[in-house]
């Protein structure tokens, strides 16, 4: 189904998926999850028009890349060569730059009632990144869950860190501060004033960042979280409105963002309108050799899987 046409003339398609009590809409623009219904209740933030996604989005439902999250100074060194990226968040490079994967039209590689695979080819030099990268994202509805499979290949050494940036509101009330969250993480990544990790893996015990036991979002820290958690082999759960979402992933971390910076003017949603659990490698890993590597080399295929299950 056609969703609109970009000024470039590119057509954007909307794909509908269905399985049991789940329904989803996926756009080829940004590989966006526009809606995800659980028994008729939409649990993700979405926008009405293609123009809205171009002008009013805060990465709603999109796949962000080539590198999700921040890279300090918009620079990194790989194999002795320094690469300069677009700086679009203070002094940092964020979510792939000015025209990241969230603003590109992906092609439909395969599609059936329950699943769609989208492909994007990012050329050498795209937003400053080396190597032509082929990325595939597959959305599948299965067993009361949305499963996201990522696959990446490159023609030259590069760094890559893909994630989905859906904002969840399980109750549909427009404020997630009463959502109860548990994250299986004994450590998180403290950040500096530019929101760049300091490099420390800090214990959560005894701090407002401890979600090893369930806590409401607004219970501590004024509800304002935008930090990466070091997962301990499990995942995360969110409960609100009589619904629980279980998040599992093969990735080493998850960025927990509570949407407190949504302003309600530039977007249809106000502060705390939705929360994100962006499964990923750590921010600024290309400049932090102690973090798990995000380097991808030719001849190697990187895959990862994240599942959002509703009970």
| CA 147 and chain centroid, separation | 13
Phi, psi of 124 (to 5 degrees): -55, 130
**Known catalytic residue at 278:** yes
* pLDDT of 311: 95
Name the domain count of the chain.
Answer: 1
Task: Dig out the tokens for 71 from the structure.
Answer: 């890279």
Please write the tens of the pLDDT for every residue from 27-56.
Answer: 999 999 999 999 999 999 999 999 999 999
- Judged by DSSP in three states, 53 sits in helix
- Judged by DSSP in three states, 254 sits in strand
- Which domain, by its residues, includes 174? 2-310
- Could you tell me which residues are annotated as the binding site? 69-70, 165-167, 226
**Domain harbouring 242, CATH code:** 2.70.98.10
Q: Which of 13, 127, 246, 278 is catalytic?
A: 278
Taking a C-beta distance cutoff of 8 angstroms, is the pair 181, 227 a contact?
Answer: no
The reported pTM is 0.97
Identify the burial level of 202 via C-beta atoms within 10 angstroms of its C-beta, where 0-12 means exposed, 13-18 middle and 19 or more buried: middle
Please write the tens of the pLDDT for every residue from 198-257.
Answer: 999 999 999 999 999 999 999 999 999 999 999 998 899 999 999 999 999 999 999 999
- Judged by DSSP in three states, 51 sits in helix
**Known catalytic residue at 127:** no
Q: Which of 95, 165, 227, 260 is catalytic?
A: 165
Taking a C-beta distance cutoff of 8 angstroms, is the pair 15, 109 a contact?
Answer: no
Please write the tens of the pLDDT for every residue from 83-96.
Answer: 999 999 999 999 99
- Could you tell me which residues are annotated as the binding site for beta-D-galactose? 69-70, 165-167, 226
Q: Average the pLDDT over 140-150 and give the result.
A: 96
Return the residue matching tokens 């969703």.
3
């Amino acid at each position: 189904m056609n969703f609109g046409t970009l000024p470039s003339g590119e057509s954007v398609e909307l794909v509908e998926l269905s399985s049991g009590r789940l329904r989803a809409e996926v756009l080829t623009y940004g590989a966006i999850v526009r809606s995800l219904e659980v028994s008729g209740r939409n649990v993700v933030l979405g926008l009405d028009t293609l123009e809205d996604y171009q002008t009013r989005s805060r990465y709603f439902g999109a796949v962000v890349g080539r590198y999700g999250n921040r890279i300090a100074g918009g620079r990194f060194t790989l194999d002795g060569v320094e690469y300069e990226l677009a700086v679009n968040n203070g002094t940092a490079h964020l979510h792939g730059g000015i025209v990241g994967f969230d603003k590109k039209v992906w092609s439909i590689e395969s599609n059936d009632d329950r699943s769609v695979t989208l492909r994007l080819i990012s050329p050498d030099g795209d937003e400053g990144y080396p190597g032509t990268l082929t990325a595939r994202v597959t959305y599948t509805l299965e067993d009361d869950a949305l499963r996201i499979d990522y696959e990446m290949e490159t023609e030259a050494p590069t760094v890559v860190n893909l994630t989905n940036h859906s904002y969840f509101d399980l109750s549909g009330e427009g404020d997630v501060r009463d959502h109860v969250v548990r994250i299986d993480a004994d450590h998180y990544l403290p950040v500096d004033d530019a929101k760049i990790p300091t490099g420390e893996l800090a214990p959560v015990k005894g701090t407002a960042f401890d979600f090893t036991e369930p806590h409401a979002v607004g219970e501590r820290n004024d509800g304002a979280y935008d930090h990466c958690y070091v997962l301990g082999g499990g995942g995360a759960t969110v409960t609100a409105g009589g619904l629980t979402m279980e998040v599992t992933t093969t990735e080493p971390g998850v960025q927990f963002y509570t949407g407190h910076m949504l302003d309600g003017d530039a977007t249809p949603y106000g502060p705390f309108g939705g929360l994100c659990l962006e499964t990923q490698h750590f921010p600024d890993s290309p400049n932090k050799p102690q973090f798990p590597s995000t380097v991808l080399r030719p001849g190697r295929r990187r895959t990862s899987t994240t599942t959002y299950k509703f009970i």
